[in-house]
C-alpha cells in the first residue's frame, strides 16, 4: 500500500465520503488510489473554486469534512476565495494539495511556489508531509483538526514521492468533536443580567442557528422578552413556518447600529461581536451599544446546550410558544423585481429546501418573504468572497441528495465560478439556480452613492456595469449541458419554478430584473 | 487630491496606460480616481484571474507594467494563479489591492485576511500602505520594483482610508531599468570554452528570445556551430520566416535529457538551468549533462548584449546567415487532429501575429509547423498554472491593438478563466480563439500511462474526462456575446480562419478533435 492509498483508506474508515477534486500530475497517485480503495466518491470540478466551495456547502449540511484534491500552489490558490468563506462559516474541510517530489522541489521547477504561505490565511491547520511513512498519521491529524468544533479548514501538502512510496501506519477519526460546554457560573451570570436588563437581545451564531438552538432561544425569549437576532450572513440557519423567528442584523452599519441602539444587554450565543461589514468614515466598526456585550458561548463552544441551560436557569417554559402563522405572500404578478422574485421563490420552495443565498441586492426581499415558507435551511455568503453560491449549492446537493437545493444567485458573483453548473449536470444534482440578472454590480453602484458620488463618471459606470455586452445566461447554462429558461414576468417565473421543482436534476432560470 | 488620485496621476505621468480591474467596496476611491484623473484606461474583468493574466500578457508585449485593481485578500487570491505565471514569465505587473480601513481591520470583519501572506509567493515586492501621505511614495516604489529587469510583480496593499484621505507627495518612473551588463571577462571565458567545445549549445531565455538576441545567437552559431535552444515554455519568442531558428527543449524529461546528452557545453543566455517540469521516480531533475553548464547571462542581466559581445569575441560574421526558406505546410484535408490544426493555423496566421499557446497536447504540432509562418511572437504558459491563455491573449491585444492575436487554447485550461471572452467582446479586441476541444485532460491521461496505469479505473477516467456532459463552446462564447463557430473538418477550419482574420473583433472557433 502506498501513501496515497493509506490516506484514502483512512478517509473511508473515518467516514469521509466525498472528494471534490481537480487534480494534476502531482496528484495522480491520489487519483489512482481513489479507484484502488473503494468508498470515497470523486467529484470533478472544472475549477478549484468549485471544489472548495462545494466542500464548504457539504460541510455546512453534513457537519463532517469532505476532502478536496488540488494541484500545487496555483491550484490551491484558485480555491482560496471559497476556503475563506468556509473559514468564516466554520465549515470542516480537509484539503489535500499535491506538490513536487521532495527531491525535485529544490530545483524550483515552474510550478513551485510557497504553498504554506498561500494556505495559512485560510487554514486553521497546515502541514507539509515529509515522508510517505508519516503521511497517514499526518492525514489523521488533519482530519482531527478539521473536526474541531464547530469545524475548521485543514490543509495537508503532500509531495508526489510521499504519495507513491510505501505507507506507514496511522489512524483517523472523523466524528466531529463535541464542543466545549459552558460552566454553570457563566450561565447563572447571564441569567441574572438578563433578568435585570430592561432591553436585552440574544445574537445567535454557529450551531445555535439550528432547530434546537432556536427552540432554546425561544424559551429564553418567552421567559424574558429578549429579542432574538441572527447575523446578516449566517452559515446555516433553520427557518420557516413553525420555527422561532430571528431578526436579521441589517447589512449597512447605520441601520444595524440603529437596531441595536436601545439594547442594553446583547448576549452572544455562538456568534462573534457584531461588526460592520466594511468601515465607513465616521461610522463605528462595532455595532452594539457600548458596554452592552455579554458572551454566553463563543463560536467554538456549545452554544445550543448553553441556551438550554440558560432557559432552565430562567425557569422558562419547557416548550417554546408556537410562533403565530404568518400569511404567505400573494403570488406576484407583472414585471419582475427583487420583491416579486423573493415572493415567488418563498411561495414555491418545497418543504426541506436548502436555500443558498448569494443573491446580493437582488436577494434581499426574499429573506423576509421566506419567513412563512415551509421549514428550510438558509445558507449565506459568510466571508464576502463572491463566487460562493453555485459551488456551495453543489456541495449541499451532494450532502443532501433527497432535499431540493435552491441557489438564489446574483449574476456578477455567479460569473466567478460558473463552472459549477457543469458539475451539477454531471452529478445529476437537484439544484435550481435562480440567476438574478440585473446586469450590474448593483452593490457597488450603491457604494458609489454612499461615498457621495452622485454622477459616476464613465469609468466608474463601466466598472460596475455588466450590460455591454449583455450576458446570456441561458446560453452559458446550455454550454455546460444544463436546461435553462429565461423569464421576464412574475407569472413566467412561477411557472418555471413549478417545472424546476417537478423535474429531477439541475436547471437554471435566468430572472431578468 | 486624495491618496487614490495621487496614485492614478503618478501612474499616468509614469506612462502606465492600463488598469485591469475587478474592484469592490474597498477600492471605490480608486474607481472614482480613474475618472477624476484622466489618462489611465480601465478594463473590467469578470474574474480577477482575467485581470492578472491580462496584465501578464500586456507586460510581455509592452515591456512596461499594467496596473491591476483587486478586492482584498479573496480578490487577490483569485488572481494568484496568473500572477504565478507572470512571475515565471518575468513580466512587469503592479497590483493595487484594497483593504479595510486601518481602523476597521483590527475588528476582523468578514473579508479580512492576511493579504501579505497571500501576496508574497507571487510578488517580488509587497508593501501595505500605512497612511494616505505615504501612498504616492509607496506606489512609486512599487512601480520601480516592477520595472526591475526583465520585469517583476509588485503588490501594494492600500487600506480604504489611505485612498480617501489627503495625498502626500511622491514621484514615479516607469521606463524599465536597463538590465545589468556582462563583464568582458565572462564573455571571453565563454568564448574560449565555446571554441574548445566539440559539442556546444546555447539555451536562450528572457529578452534574448527577441529578434536582436536571436540574431546575435545566430552569429555565434555561424562562427562555432553551436546548437541554439529555447525553453519549452518561453514567455515571448520571436519566430517565423527569416528569423534564426531554435530547437525547443522537449517537455518530458527523458527526451530532453536525450537531446542534451551529447552537449558538453550548455551556455545559458537569459535562461535558467533546464529543469524537468515534474519529477519522475528514477529520472533526474536537471536535464543537462553533468558539468556542462556555463552561465553567460542570468535572466535579469543583459543577455542580448552579452550574445552580441560573445559573437564579436568569436569574430563571428556581422550578419548572421539567412536561414534557408522552409516549405509551408500543405493545406490539411479531412478530419481534424492536432497536426491538421497546427498546419491550418501555421498556414493562415497573418504576419505580425501574437500567438498565445495554451494548447497543451493539442497545440504541440503547431510549434513545428509555424517555423515557416510569417514573423510572429509566440507566448507560452510559463508557470504551468492553467487558465492563462485567454487572459494573456486579452492583455496582449490591449497592448498591441494593431496586431492580430491568436489564442491556441486547450479546453480544460480555457474553462478556468473563460470569463476573459467577455472582456474581449467589451473591448472589441482582435483575438481569435482556437478552442481545442478534445474533451479531456489529455495530459493527465498521458501521465496516468507514464505512471504505469494501463487501465485507469472509473474514477481516474472520470477525473480526466470532460465529455460527460460535453461542453458546447459555441454556446459559452455566445453567452458572453462573442461570435463563434464549430468545425469538424480541416477544410471548415481553414474557411473559419480566413473569416476570423478578415473580420475585426474577437471570435471563437471550436475545433473538435
Measured in angstroms, the CA of A443 and the nearest CA of chain B are apart by 8
| Closest residue to A383, CB basis, from B80, B110, B463 | B110
Is A181 in a helix, a strand, or coil? Answer: coil
User: Cell 429565461, residue?
Assistant: A486
DSSP state of A419: T
A117 touches chain B (CB under 8 A): yes
Question: Which chain B residue has its CA at the smallest distance from A26's CA?
Answer: B278
- Please report the residues numbered 203 through 222 in chain B whose beta carbons come closer than 8 angstroms to any beta carbon of chain A: none
Q: Do the Cβ atoms of B21 and A463 come within 8 Å?
A: yes
pLDDT digits 0-9 by tens, A358-387: 999 999 999 999 999 999 999 999 999 999
Mean pLDDT of A223-243: 97
Is A406 in a helix, a strand, or coil? Answer: strand
B278 touches chain A (CB under 8 A): yes
Judging contacts by C-beta atoms under 8 Å, the chain A residues touching residue B73 are 80, 84, 121
Secondary structure element (H or E) that encloses residue A126, with its range: strand A125-128
B283 touches chain A (CB under 8 A): no
Predicted pLDDT of residue A169: 78
| Closest residue to B114, CB basis, from A103, A121, A418 | A121
Q: Do the Cβ atoms of A479 and B471 come within 8 Å?
A: yes
Mean pLDDT in consecutive groups of 10 residues from the start of chain B, 513 residues: 96 95 98 97 98 98 97 98 98 98 98 98 98 95 95 98 91 74 97 97 97 98 97 98 96 98 98 98 97 97 98 96 91 98 98 98 96 97 98 98 98 98 98 97 94 94 96 98 98 98 97 97
Mean pLDDT of A474-490: 98
Is A250 in a helix, a strand, or coil? Answer: coil
B453 touches chain A (CB under 8 A): yes
Q: How many beta-carbon pairs below 8 A join chains A and B?
A: 303
Measured in angstroms, the CA of A139 and the nearest CA of chain B are apart by 21
Backbone angles phi, psi at A156, to 5 degrees: -115, 120
B6 neighbors B168 (Cβ within 8 angstroms): yes
Predicted pLDDT of residue B169: 78
Residue B290's Cα: distance from chain center in Å? 30
Backbone angles phi, psi at B315, to 5 degrees: 55, 40
Q: Which of A25, A48, A286, A427 to mutate to test the interface with B (most CBs of B within 10 A)?
A: A25
**Res A172 pLDDT > 70:** no
3-state helix, strand, coil in chain A (%, to 5): 40, 20, 40
User: Cell 531554435, residue?
Assistant: B246
Predicted pLDDT of residue B174: 60
A36 touches chain B (CB under 8 A): yes
B116 touches chain A (CB under 8 A): no
Question: Which chain A residue has its CA at the smallest distance from B71's CA?
Answer: A385
Q: For residue B380, how many C-alpha atoms fall within 13 Å in the half-sphere facing its CB?
A: 25
Q: For residue B73, how many C-alpha atoms fall within 13 Å in the half-sphere facing its CB?
A: 29
Question: Which chain B residue has its CA at the smallest distance from A81's CA?
Answer: B74
Reported confidence tier of residue A256, pLDDT bands at 50, 70, 90: very high
B5 neighbors B167 (Cβ within 8 angstroms): yes
Judging contacts by C-beta atoms under 8 Å, the chain A residues touching residue B104 are 276, 278-279, 285
Is the backbone peptide bond immediately before A173 cis, with ω within 30 degrees of 0? no
Chain length of chain B: 513
Predicted pLDDT of residue B177: 81
Distance CA A278, CA A193 (A): 31
| Closest residue to A120, CB basis, from B117, B419, B464 | B117
Phi-psi region of A39 (alpha: psi -120 to 50; beta: other; left: phi over 0): left
pLDDT digits 0-9 by tens, A76-98: 999 999 999 999 999 999 999 99
| Closest residue to B459, CB basis, from A42, A276, A278 | A42
Measured in angstroms, the CA of A362 and the nearest CA of chain B are apart by 17
| Closest residue to B475, CB basis, from A109, A468, A478 | A478
Measured in angstroms, the CA of B110 and the nearest CA of chain A are apart by 5
Reported confidence tier of residue A177, pLDDT bands at 50, 70, 90: confident
Distance CA A158, CA A144 (A): 17
pTM: 0.98
Predicted pLDDT of residue B176: 72
**Res A171 pLDDT > 80:** no
B338 touches chain A (CB under 8 A): no
| Average pLDDT value for chain A | 97
Measured in angstroms, the CA of A168 and the nearest CA of chain B are apart by 19
Q: Do the Cβ atoms of A416 and B80 come within 8 Å?
A: no
Is the backbone peptide bond immediately before B257 cis, with ω within 30 degrees of 0? no
Predicted pLDDT of residue A211: 97
Q: Do the Cβ atoms of A77 and B74 come within 8 Å?
A: no
Q: Do the Cβ atoms of B462 and A25 come within 8 Å?
A: no
Here the ipTM equals: 0.97
3-state helix, strand, coil in chain B (%, to 5): 45, 20, 40
Predicted pLDDT of residue B171: 67
Report helix angle B360-369 to B338-348, nearest 10. 50
B389 touches chain A (CB under 8 A): no
Q: DSSP letter string over A15-60? A: T--EEEE---GGGHHHHHHHHHSTT-EEEE-SSHHHHHHHHHHHHH
Distance CA A66, CA A56 (A): 8
- Sign of dihedral through CA atoms B82, B87, B89, B93? positive
Going from the N-terminus, what domains does chain A have, and what CATH number goes with each? 3-164 (3.40.50.970), 184-313 (3.40.50.1220), 338-512 (3.40.50.970)
- Which of A248, A386, A383 has its CA nearest to residue B110? A383
B333 touches chain A (CB under 8 A): no
Neighbours of A262 (CB within 10 A): 12
A47 touches chain B (CB under 8 A): yes
Measured in angstroms, the CA of B324 and the nearest CA of chain A are apart by 34
User: Cell 480503495, residue?
Assistant: A37
B120 touches chain A (CB under 8 A): yes
Measured in angstroms, the CA of A470 and the nearest CA of chain B are apart by 7
Helices assigned H by DSSP within A147-210: 160-164, 184-196
Q: Which of B20, B21, B28, B449 to mutate to test the interface with A (most CBs of A within 10 A)?
A: B28
- What the block records as the C-alpha cell of B69 is 485593481
| Residue percentage of chain A with pLDDT more than 90 | 97
Measured in angstroms, the CA of A96 and the nearest CA of chain B are apart by 15
Q: Which of B278, B288, B410 to mutate to test the interface with A (most CBs of A within 10 A)?
A: B278
- Please report the residues numbered 149 through 208 in chain A whose beta carbons come closer than 8 angstroms to any beta carbon of chain B: 160-161, 164
Which stretches does DSSP call E strand in A381-459?
405-410, 431-437
Query: Going by C-beta distance under 8 Å and a sequence separation of 6 or more, which residues neighbour residue A157?
Result: A97, A98, A99, A115, A116, A119, A126, A127, A128, A129
Q: DSSP letter string over B404-472? A: -EEEEEEHHHHTTSTTHHHHHHHHT--EEEEEEE-SB-HHHHHHHHHTT-SS--HHHHHHTB--SSPP-
B20 touches chain A (CB under 8 A): no
Q: Which of A78, A233, A277, A456 to mutate to test the interface with B (most CBs of B within 10 A)?
A: A78
Q: Do the Cβ atoms of B475 and A475 come within 8 Å?
A: yes
Amino acid at each position: 500500500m502506498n501513501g496515497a492509498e493509506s490516506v484514502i483508506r483512512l478517509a473511508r474508515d473515518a467516514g469521509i465520503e466525498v472528494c471534490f477534486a481537480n487534480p494534476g500530475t502531482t496528484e495522480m497517485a491520489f487519483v489512482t488510489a481513489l479507484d484502488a480503495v473503494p468508498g470515497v466518491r470523486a467529484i470533478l470540478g472544472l475549477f478549484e473554486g468549485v471544489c472548495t466551495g462545494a466542500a464548504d456547502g457539504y460541510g455546512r449540511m453534513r457537519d463532517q469534512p469532505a476532502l478536496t484534491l488540488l494541484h500545487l500552489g496555483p491550484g490551491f490558490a484558485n480555491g482560496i476565495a471559497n476556503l475563506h468563506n468556509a473559514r468564516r462559516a466554520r465549515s470542516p474541510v480537509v484539503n489535500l494539495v499535491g506538490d513536487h517530489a521532495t527531491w525535485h522541489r529544490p530545483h524550483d521547477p515552474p510550478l513551485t511556489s510557497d504553498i504554506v504561505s498561500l494556505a495559512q490565511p485560510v487554514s486553521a491547520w497546515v502541514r507539509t508531509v515529509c515522508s510517505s511513512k508519516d503521511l497517514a498519521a499526518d492525514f489523521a491529524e488533519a482530519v482531527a483538526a478539521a473536526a474541531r468544533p464547530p469545524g475548521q479548514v485543514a490543509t495537508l501538502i503532500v509531495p508526489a514521492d510521499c504519495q507513491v512510496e510505501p505507507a506507514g501506519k496511522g489512524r483517523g477519526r472523523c466524528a466531529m468533536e463535541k464542543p466545549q460546554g459552558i460552566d454553570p457560573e457563566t450561565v447563572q451570570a447571564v441569567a441574572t443580567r438578563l433578568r435585570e436588563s430592561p432591553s436585552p437581545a440574544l445574537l445567535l451564531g454557529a450551531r445555535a442557528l439550528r432547530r434546537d438552538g432556536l427552540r432554546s432561544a425561544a424559551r429564553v425569549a418567552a421567559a424574558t422578552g429578549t429579542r432574538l437576532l441572527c447575523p446578516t450572513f449566517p452559515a446555516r440557519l433553520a427557518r420557516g413556518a413553525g420555527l422561532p423567528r430571528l431578526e436579521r442584523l441589517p447589512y449597512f452599519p447605520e441601520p444595524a447600529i440603529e437596531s441595536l441602539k436601545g439594547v442594553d444587554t446583547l448576549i452572544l450565543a455562538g456568534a462573534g461581536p457584531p461588526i460592520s461589514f466594511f468601515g465607513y468614515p465616521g461610522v463605528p466598526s462595532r455595532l452594539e451599544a457600548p458596554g452592552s456585550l455579554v458572551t454566553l458561548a463563543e463560536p467554538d463552544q456549545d452554544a445550543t446546550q448553553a441556551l438550554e441551560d440558560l432557559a432552565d436557569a430562567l425557569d422558562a417554559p419547557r416548550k417554546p410558544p408556537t410562533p403565530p402563522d404568518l400569511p404567505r405572500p400573494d403570488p406576484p404578478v407583472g414585471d419582475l423585481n427583487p420583491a416579486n422574485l423573493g415572493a415567488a421563490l418563498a411561495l414555491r420552495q418545497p418543504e426541506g429546501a436548502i436555500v443558498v443565498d448569494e443573491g446580493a441586492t437582488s436577494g434581499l426581499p426574499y429573506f423576509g418573504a421566506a419567513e412563512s415558507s415551509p421549514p428550510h435551511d438558509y445558507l449565506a455568503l459568510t466571508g464576502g468572497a463572491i463566487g460562493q453560491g453555485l459551488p456551495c449549492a453543489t456541495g449541499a446537493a451532494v450532502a443532501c441528495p433527497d432535499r431540493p437545493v435552491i441557489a438564489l444567485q446574483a449574476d456578477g458573483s455567479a460569473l466567478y465560478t460558473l463552472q459549477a453548473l457543469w458539475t451539477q449536470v454531471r452529478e445529476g444534482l437537484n439544484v435550481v439556480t435562480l440567476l438574478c440578472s440585473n446586469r450590474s454590480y448593483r452593490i457597488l453602484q450603491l457604494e458609489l452613492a454612499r461615498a457621495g458620488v452622485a454622477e459616476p463618471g464613465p469609468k466608474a459606470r463601466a466598472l460596475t456595469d455588466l450590460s455591454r455586452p449583455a450576458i446570456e445566461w441561458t446560453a452559458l447554462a446550455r454550454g455546460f449541458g444544463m436546461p435553462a429558461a429565461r423569464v421576464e414576468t412574475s407569472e413566467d417565473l412561477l411557472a418555471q419554478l413549478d417545472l424546476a421543482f417537478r423535474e429531477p436534476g439541475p436547471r437554471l432560470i435566468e430572472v431578468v430584473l
